[in-house]
Homo-oligomer: A and B are copies of this chain.
């Protein structure tokens, strides 16, 4: 474990650029305004396909070097054709990914070298809600359990703190644990 003032690339994180970016945003806070996007096309039945490509941020229209296309479907037991994970599964993957991306940055900023990070996310859901069979059951997850294994050159307590700090600064964790207003607009016919 190096000092917290260490600013060399670590864990694959370009920490000098990370700190420079933080300084730039501090000077010009409007650079922090982002818009992320996904588009979706219905294929057949419960099978559909999403694309993630363009976004806005740092004052400009941007795009990922590659468009990412993912399929979703309901599983056979829910009368789908299993052409991809269920939509709710992507939420769990997003949570694991957000916490992991964040903790890599935080570890690098603190000069801690990571050797291994794995996680599993489990979401319990009672489908009586979405099936409209019980008014008292919510549509979404009742509870989500996240389990992390993290290894690196710091005491256990410091490694645990990194994961907790990542949770405290996680966009997806916030979206799941707190309400986000959603507006729905439909053009029909």
Q: Residues of A with Cβ closer than 8 Å to B?
A: 11-14, 17-18, 21-22, 25-26, 29, 32-48, 50, 52, 55, 57-58, 62, 64-65, 68, 70-75, 77-82, 84-98, 100-102, 104-105, 108, 114, 116-134, 138-151, 155-157, 159-160, 163-164, 167, 169-189
Q: Are B11 and A125 in contact (CB under 8 A)?
A: no
The interface residues of chain A, by DSSP majority, are classed as mixed
28 pairs across A/B with beta carbons < 8 Å?
Answer: A11-B44, A21-B79, A32-B126, A45-B104, A48-B96, A58-B77, A70-B90, A72-B94, A72-B97, A73-B101, A74-B101, A88-B94, A88-B98, A88-B175, A130-B171, A138-B174, A138-B178, A139-B169, A140-B172, A140-B178, A144-B183, A146-B182, A146-B183, A155-B189, A157-B188, A163-B186, A167-B184, A177-B182
